[in-house]
Amino acid sequence: MSASGAAAATIREATRELMASWHRVRETWRDAKAEEFAAAHLKDLGDEAGRAVKVIADIERLISKIHADCE
């Protein structure tokens, strides 16, 4: 597995674990502060993680191109 593939897998798994934990917490934390926390910190987490994975892959491609150009 490439470095970006490993990073992508780590980000996806960490995001999945975080959201699973959040859903367990939400079973008992149901007030306005929970909603506020979710809106402030978790609402866009999936999209942000996806963007991070894409950027990591882009950087890996760029580094590979730089290495090829230097050979």
Going residue by residue through the chain (71 aa), what tens digit of pLDDT does each one get? 777 788 889 999 999 999 999 999 999 999 999 999 999 999 999 999 999 999 998 998 999 999 999 98
d(CA 21, CA 23): 5
CB 3 within 8 A of CB 60: yes
Q: How close are the terminal C-alpha atoms of the chain, in Å?
A: 23
Tell me whether residue 8 is exposed, middle or buried, using C-beta atoms within 10 angstroms of its C-beta: 0 to 12, 13 to 18, 19 or more: buried
Please report the sign of the dihedral spanned by the C-alpha atoms of residue 45, residue 46, residue 50, residue 53.
positive
- Give how many domains the chain has, as a whole number: 1
Is the model's pTM score more than 0.75?
yes
User: In which domain, by residue range, is 49 found?
Assistant: 3-70
